[in-house]
Structure 1
Amino acid sequence: MRADRLVSLVLLLRQHGRLSANALARELEVSTRTVLRDIEALSAAGVPVYAERGRHGGFALLPGFRTELTGLNPDEALALLVAGSRRGAQAFGLGSSLASAMLKVVDALPESYRDTAAGAAERLLIDPETDLLSRRLADEEVPDAVAAEVLRAVFAGRRLEIHYAAVDQTPKWRTVDPIGLVTIRDRGYLLATRSGEDRTYRLSRILAAKELAEPAQRPDRVDLDRAWQERSTRFRAGGDQVTVLVRVNPVRREDLVGTALAVLAEEGDSDGWLRMEVTFQDHRHAEWALWQLSTNAEALTPQWLRDALRDRATKIATRYGAPS
């Protein structure tokens, strides 16, 4: 861990020229005291790092110093292969590895290309934390220790013990045979089997995990895309799903489709709106999704959904009808 951090510190100084202890601490996600200890260790090892005093001071390397790196470590290579974007890496707990790997990639570029690449990167922003309406996009936190244990078990092909908090249930320990990991819409999922039955676990609901010594009972090869499609189909076909006939303003069609499980039918209405038949996971899901669309949608059937939306709107109107 410390060796990787020291390499990252050197690369940061090479690429930025000069950085304060506070800036280095933020980049490396450690304390300033740790940064100062690392600087001392680098100096003792012969790395020509020096301090510049004053208002715009900080730490820098002697001009012309170049590191000889052995290459990416396994986690960094994996981060580049599966991440594709910052959010993809975060879903599997590989965010810090991705940052470290990108430092090495930039450092490996020919010097004539390095400044051009850095300038181009500054003009690209992928998956910011908020949208145009300043709404913060929901991020699901997966503790690093949990992500590390799950990844090790998946790649080593060993059984995994997880402390899992299912919805509306007391967290329980379960022993599973991990098959693979999937990320979709910034959410990570563990595909596994338990007592021979297919199971899907959301990573953010795994409170603790422990890789076991015994080998997992699973096939040598897996088609994750096919496995995910099959589980999605079974999920949509089961449970307390409800079908809703709704009229929606075309400008909000994608919002409706994004929250529904499936679109069963769609046609244009006489006033330019769309008439769609969609399914939701349950009663609560249907009511929540239609409420988000406000006056841009109208549930036509079932009647219980119309009643629920009317009652909610009436309560809101009553609340705001009275003086504050």
Structure 2
Amino acid sequence: MRADRLVSLVLLLRQRGRLSAATLARELEVSTRTVLRDIEALSAAGVPVYAERGRHGGFALLPGFQTELTGLNHDEALALLVAGSRRGAQAFGLGSALASAMLKVVDALPESQRDTAAGAVGRLLIDPETDLLSRRLTADEVPDGIVAEVRRAVFAGHKVRIHYAAVGQAPRWRTVDPIGLVTVREQGYLLATRSGADRTYRLSRIVAAEELDEPAQRPDRVDLDRAWQERSTRFRAGGDPVTVLVRVNPARREDLVGTALAVHAEEAGADGWLRLEVSFQDARHAEWALWQLAMNAEALAPPWLRTALRDRATAIAARYEASSPS
């Protein structure tokens, strides 16, 4: 750990110039006393770090000092920097490791390419915190110690014991065989098996975790993308599926299809709108999906869905017909 921190300290000074002990401590997530000890260790090892006194003083490297990180071309480094802008590393407890890696990536570039790469990355934004409607994406909060324990078990191929709080239930201990980790829209999941059966656990609901010495019972190779797709399909099919006939504005077709389990039939209507026969997970899912489309869709069948949407709209209209609250 200290060796990694010393490398990160050198790279920070190379890329940013003179920095105070307080700034270095904040960047490296250590105390200023630790930074001062690290500076002494670097000096003893022959790294030309010097201190400047005064109000605007700090630590810096002698001009021209080079580290030995090479081997990446411009496009390779850019690809890593773009990947590093994604927030999945946070979900897996790798935020500080990612920051250290990005310093090394930038330092690996020839000096003539650093500014170009940094400027290119500044023109690419991956998964912003809000969408065009200003809806904020909420990330799961998972303690680093818990996710690190789970991550170690996944990589080592060991069983892991988790204290898991399922929805509406008190936490209880489970011993599982970890398959892999998945992050979807800021939410992290552990894919595992328990007594041979597939299980999916949300990381934010793991209260405690303990890696065991016992080897996990799992295949040597796994197609994690396929495994996730299969579990997603089973999850969506877990309710009481309903089939709905819908009339929809062509401009909102993708919004409708994106929420449905399947599209069974589709044809263009004489009025220019589309008629689709689609299935949803259950009645509640169908009502929610059609309500989101407001005046851009109409449920034609079954009758109970038309009634449910009419009653909801009537209740909303009645509320707003009343006088404003004082």
The TM-score bracket by the shorter chain reads 0.7 to 0.9
What letter matches 1:151 in structure 2? R
- 1:92-111 equivalences in 2 (<5 Å): 92-111=92-111
What letter matches 2:324 in structure 1? P
SS of alignment partner, residue 243 of structure 1 = strand
Q: Identity percentage over the alignment?
A: 78
Residue 180 of structure 1 is matched in structure 2 by: 180
Residue 27 (structure 1) shift: 4.3
Residue 211 (structure 1) shift: 1.0
My pick for the range that moved more, 131-140 or 98-107, is 131-140
What is the count of residue pairs matched by the alignment? 310
Contact 2:22-2:32 at 8 Å conserved across structures: no
Residue 127 of structure 1 is matched in structure 2 by: 127
Q: In 1, Cα distance between the equivalents of 2:302 and 2:27?
A: 53
Residue 265 (structure 1) shift: 3.1
- 1:1-324 equivalences in 2 (<5 Å): 1-19=1-19, 24=24, 27-28=27-28, 30=29, 34-45=30-41, 46=43, 47=47, 48-51=49-52, 53-54=54-55, 59-68=59-68, 86-321=86-321, 322-324=323-325
- Does the C-alpha gap of structure 1 residues 235 and 264 become closer, same or farther in structure 2, counting only changes over 3 Å? farther
Contact 2:161-2:209 at 8 Å conserved across structures: yes
Residue 127 (structure 1) shift: 1.6
Contact 1:180-1:192 at 8 Å conserved across structures: yes
Q: Under a length normalisation based on structure 2, what TM-score does the superposition of the two structures give?
A: 0.81
Q: In 2, Cα distance between the equivalents of 1:141 and 1:269?
A: 47
Residue 3 (structure 1) shift: 4.2
Residue 199 (structure 1) shift: 1.4
What letter matches 1:253 in structure 2? R
Per-residue deviation, residues 132-161 of structure 1 (Å, max 9, x unmatched):
332212323333222211211111111111
What letter matches 1:159 in structure 2? K
- Does the C-alpha gap of structure 1 residues 61 and 266 become closer, same or farther in structure 2, counting only changes over 3 Å? farther
Q: In 2, Cα distance between the equivalents of 1:15 and 1:89?
A: 23
What letter matches 1:141 in structure 2? E
Unaligned runs of 5+ in 1: 72-79
- Does the C-alpha gap of structure 1 residues 230 and 120 become closer, same or farther in structure 2, counting only changes over 3 Å? closer
SS of alignment partner, residue 117 of structure 1 = helix
Residue 103 (structure 1) shift: 1.0
- Does the C-alpha gap of structure 1 residues 236 and 124 become closer, same or farther in structure 2, counting only changes over 3 Å? closer
Per-residue deviation, residues 271-296 of structure 1 (Å, max 9, x unmatched):
22222333333333333333222222
SS of alignment partner, residue 86 of structure 1 = coil
Contact 2:159-2:211 at 8 Å conserved across structures: yes
Q: In 1, Cα distance between the equivalents of 2:170 and 2:245?
A: 36
Q: In 2, Cα distance between the equivalents of 1:24 and 1:279?
A: 56
Contact 1:160-1:177 at 8 Å conserved across structures: yes
Q: Under a length normalisation based on structure 1, what TM-score does the superposition of the two structures give?
A: 0.82
What letter matches 1:279 in structure 2? S
Unaligned runs of 5+ in 2: 72-79
